[in-house]
Structure 1
């Protein structure tokens, strides 16, 4: 690989590994002073408006009606429900590291939905799902989530929605390039702001500097930069490399949460983290680590 191609690859992987991993910590800082749905809505509206303005200013056109509506639906599934549930759960005192561990199960649910859409799966991948489910049960059996079952349920719903949206989005027509991300973020932002209004969220006091910095970081780095980095990776590297963030993000989030946010993980939770990451590795890298045996047919002829 030439040097001019290596730098963008390293930058994109850094964005997914470190930036997406750090967003859980940023969310925990933000929800300390923002209502959760309102904060998520402002995050995606700001990111979507900035990206859309840039695209229109540089000569891009709005997509046709069908791709636009498709992108809006995917935005609701991935960002409004998927990320919105995580934000609400962290507002209800689910530690950011634990939230990231739960979200790491997305590839497991993605594999299940892929099967429903007729995509072939292997036994090693189903073994990964079984191990991952055991890790989820262990994670919820003691520690931070045992006293917060609704937080665990919300993150699971968000993870399932993200997984379904990822699989469904790969089978429908979406706008090309960064326009898809812009439409998705705008749609998610609108839905989240409506949900915030209907749920009665109100700002009782003006958020402090840390609250505004958290939203700015989530909008610019967690949304615009990281989402486009992911789009770059899925066009230029194997799916296994592009989805490898799923088992790096929890480690980054746990380290940030324990070092800077005063979070503590029990021995059971550390074990669950290891089990879930191992399961995700099996699902995402199983076909490379354990390639299917090829059947060689030989024919003999008599002379």
Structure 2
């Protein structure tokens, strides 16, 4: 973690991007995969965002990408973007955006455990432990409710929900490794290299899945194109960049609290724009999630 104290404006603006913008990306992903194959849409998202940010870095910064840095970037992207985002975007072909966001709220549990066990971070505090347990409990309750209290693979959303759960493990491990991966000294250049690597890996997955043969320009809707553009400009260039920067300047257990707030944004947008249904159990899980955020984020970043 960077020992230099970030400015309050940059710090809270980055969290606003994670909490609000990333909460809206789940609905945008749902709109995108309606007419664009999942892995291909993911590859375009990170290719475009990575290319734009890379061009900015080459024009405005002195540091240049290195072969060693790209090797590290591909390692991070393989776990976090291919294994994490790739699984989520594939699952959202069947899983509603609000449900996917609520399941992903389990990530803080993996972050705290992996950061402590594998990355030698400090032992979680009592408040952090209670917070992640409550968030985990709310997620388990949601999954069981959506699956009809049965994890039979014949359920409409069950396979997709399990894929999202697997994605949370991949994303958490990749994000934690990215803090120390020797990609680049510049946070912006590091982000650009990771997104570019992710775009290449997702494109390879798209070809392996036979997606190019199913792509029809006439069948792609303006709504899907607009949603993909939103994911590039806001979800990646703003949200992902803020995420990578915060991982370097703040505790992982606090950064990952965006997964507790994102579902609230996703639920509201899914209901108001996406025509998704809000149920009593979903609201109960959201209430537990809010309390979890308060427990984990109640200390100032200087306490990190």
Sort the TM-score into its range (normalised by shorter chain). 0.7 to 0.9
**Residue 115 of structure 2: aligned partner:** 114
Whole-angstrom CA distance in 1 between matches of 2:148 and 2:243: 30
Whole-angstrom CA distance in 2 between matches of 1:244 and 1:276: 9
Q: How does 1:39-50 map to 2 (within 5 A)?
A: 39-50=41-52
Q: How does 1:242-257 map to 2 (within 5 A)?
A: 242-257=255-270
Structure 1, unmatched stretches of 5+, are 292-303
Deviation per CA, 1:163-202, whole angstroms, max 9, x where unpaired? 1112222233231221111111111111111111111112
Report the number of matched residues: 283
Q: Give the CA deviation at 1:158.
A: 1.0
Residue 21 (structure 2) pairs with residue 15 (structure 1): no
Q: Give the CA deviation at 1:76.
A: 2.2
**Residue 182 of structure 2: aligned partner:** 173
Tell me the TM-score normalised to structure 1 length: 0.83
User: 2:225 aligned to 212, 225, 231, which one?
Assistant: 212
Q: Give the CA deviation at 1:39.
A: 0.6
Whole-angstrom CA distance in 2 between matches of 1:104 and 1:233: 18
Deviation per CA, 1:94-152, whole angstroms, max 9, x where unpaired? 11111111112211110111122233234444444433332222112223686311111
User: 1:203 aligned to 215, 218, 224, which one?
Assistant: 215
**Residue 70 of structure 2: aligned partner:** 68
Structure 2, unmatched stretches of 5+, are 1-6, 150-154
Whole-angstrom CA distance in 2 between matches of 1:6 and 1:285: 15
User: 1:136 aligned to 136, 139, 145, which one?
Assistant: 139
What is the root-mean-square deviation of aligned Cα atoms in Å?
2.6
Contact 2:69/2:183 (<8 A) preserved: yes
Contact 2:31/2:224 (<8 A) preserved: yes
Whole-angstrom CA distance in 1 between matches of 2:252 and 2:75: 23
The change in CA–CA distance for 1:11 and 1:286 in structure 2 (over 3 A counts) is closer
Mean CA deviation greater in 241-250 or 26-35:
241-250
The change in CA–CA distance for 1:140 and 1:233 in structure 2 (over 3 A counts) is closer
- Larger CA Rg, structure 1 vs 2: 1
Whole-angstrom CA distance in 1 between matches of 2:63 and 2:8: 31
Whole-angstrom CA distance in 2 between matches of 1:123 and 1:109: 16
Q: Give the CA deviation at 1:281.
A: 4.5
SS at match of 2:169: helix
Whole-angstrom CA distance in 2 between matches of 1:141 and 1:238: 31
Whole-angstrom CA distance in 2 between matches of 1:46 and 1:197: 18
Q: How does 1:1-303 map to 2 (within 5 A)?
A: 7-92=9-94, 94-117=95-118, 118-119=120-121, 120-143=123-146, 147=155, 148-176=157-185, 177-201=187-211, 202-204=214-216, 205-234=218-247, 242-279=255-292, 281-282=294-295, 284-285=296-297
